[in-house]
Amino acid sequence: MLASALLAVAAVVVDGPDALPIPDLAEAVAIGYLGVLVTAGAFIAWYGGVARIGVERAGLFAGLIPLGALFATLLVGTGTVTPLRLLGAAVVGAGVVLGLATDRVGAMRFPASRRR
């Protein structure tokens, strides 16, 4: 939150009052929808998933972010999809699948001399 405030001040210093335009009604509704409903939905989904499948497996789903970004790029048409990006998304997807296929995440083990 502190970083957001500092960046807002820096934006006003660099770009003047045009850095923080007042949103119109449609933009305000979109900001409210994304800020409240989508965020609340994401938290409910995340904690529900953690409760159902455990923190180790739920954490793997953060690896789906590059796949979602690639899909959004295709859907919106704001970027280009290159073979390298497809390969990167496939590697990430394979890592998530591999992580979900394992039965148990190995526990970190310390030598007896380090336990206290």
The verdict on 115 and 60 lying in the same domain is: yes
In this prediction, residue 108 carries a pLDDT of: 47
The verdict on 63 and 41 lying in the same domain is: no
pTM for the whole structure: 0.49
The verdict on 61 and 115 lying in the same domain is: yes
In this prediction, residue 26 carries a pLDDT of: 93
- What single DSSP character describes residue 81? -
User: Any long-range contacts for 62-66 (C-beta under 8 Å, 24+ apart)?
Assistant: 63/92, 63/93, 63/95, 63/96, 63/99, 64/92, 64/93, 64/96, 66/92
**CA-closest candidate to residue 65, choices 32, 88, 37, 35:** 88
The verdict on 107 and 95 lying in the same domain is: yes
How many domains is the chain built from? Answer: 2
The verdict on 65 and 79 lying in the same domain is: yes
Q: What is the pLDDT along the chain (116 residues), one digit of tens a residue?
A: 799 899 989 999 999 988 888 999 999 999 899 888 889 998 998 899 889 988 888 888 888 888 888 888 888 888 888 899 889 888 988 888 888 887 655 544 545 555 55
